Amino acid sequence: MQNVFTSILVLMFLAGCGAKRADSADGSGNYADSSAMVAEAPDAVAFDADSAYAYLGRQVEFGPRVPNTEAHAKAGDWMAAELRRHGAEVIEQKMDLEAFDGTILHARNIFGQYNPGEEDRTLLLAHYDCRPWADEDPDPDKRKQPVDGANDGASGVAVLLEIARQISAANPKKGIDILFVDAEDWGTEGDDDSWAMGTRYFVHNPVKPGYQPARVIVADMVGGAGALFPIEYFSQQSAPDLVTELWNAASASGYGSLFPRQMGGAVTDDHVEFIKQGIPAVDIIEYHPRTGFNPHWHTTKDNLENIDKNTLRAVGTTLVRYLEL
């Protein structure tokens, strides 16, 4: 994922874009203090942040989930097994992808379905791979080290695994899919197609004939301390009604301060690949209008110390309320 691009590129969006980066649409730079946050209203929706945190910690224990590594393979096996344990019908989509530097990535998307016979389907998505290099680290000596990806990678997966557990318990008669995508973060500045490769492959190679979700919700960097989730630009353009429903769910759950009803950045993330195909998609992603992504983004400090259970709870509760589990 990349960080900032000019407003001209926002206007050029329909001509094509692919790398995760952002352009501020607001100059307020306000932060929500999730570490001191208390829900603004009684929370009648159950989301177990301790369970989500345990899922997150388990991923970090494997080590950086960089494609072509043992940690990456073991983490993928574990995620697929967890989805199966929680009652999902699982399909593993394996592919070899050529990265911008010529490296062949042995990648795998992990797709789980609930109630596959239902036509109307909501797809929840998070990437699970880690950045191979901490190229944003303030210490130049650490910039060739891989990133733990506690927030950028593991947090979205953790929230969705906990939702999978709750789907299994609630057994709703709804079509819900969960997708853990690979090869999102092996990219380079200036080459849009070098990012979100796993999602691009998924969109152009359906795991089932004719598969197309009615809507897509991406959870990316959803565990950081001090996180803020303003409305992402392309999400608002693609799916204004879905944005309203999700931000209403956040407010109803007492987390409106973390989900301000203001425009954030224009972030080209996994959701953009679906938007290009005409599928409404929303990106729930941490963004601070003045400073951009989480301060530990693509650094060696994206570790468990960067994670706040309150942030996991806010995002997870919002999604559970939206899904009416």
Q: Quickly list DSSP for 123-143.
A: EEEEE----SS-TT-SSGGGT
Q: What pTM, to 2 d.p., does this model score?
A: 0.90
Residue showing tokens 């197309």: 212
Instruction: Supply the pLDDT for residue 69.
Output: 99
At residue 29, the 3 state secondary structure works out as: coil
8-22 pLDDT, tens digit each: 344 334 333 334 555
**Which pair of structure tokens corresponds to residue 322?**
């939206």
Residue 1: inside a domain, yes or no? no
Q: How many CA atoms are closer than 13 Å to the CA of 162, on its beta-carbon side?
A: 28
Instruction: Supply the pLDDT for residue 268.
Output: 81
> From CA 302, how far away is CA 145, in angstroms rounded?
12
Instruction: Supply the pLDDT for residue 46.
Output: 83
Quote the domain boundaries for residue 242: 7-323
Instruction: Supply the pLDDT for residue 48.
Output: 98
Cross-sheet strand order for the sheet of 121-127: 89-98, 104-114, 175-181, 121-127, 215-220, 281-285
**Whole-number Cα distances in Å, 90 to 16, 58, 158:** 31, 20, 17
**Which pair of structure tokens corresponds to residue 204?**
């152009």
Q: What is the CATH number of the domain that holds 236?
A: 3.40.630.10
Domain count, the chain: 1
- Low-confidence spans in the chain with pLDDT less than 50: 3-19, 24-38, 41-42
Residue showing tokens 């407003």: 7
Residue 53: inside a domain, yes or no? yes
Instruction: Supply the pLDDT for residue 191.
Output: 87
Residue showing tokens 């997708």: 179
Report helix, strand and coil shares of the chain as percent, to nearest 5: 35, 15, 45
31-54 pLDDT, tens digit each: 344 444 445 544 557 899 999 999
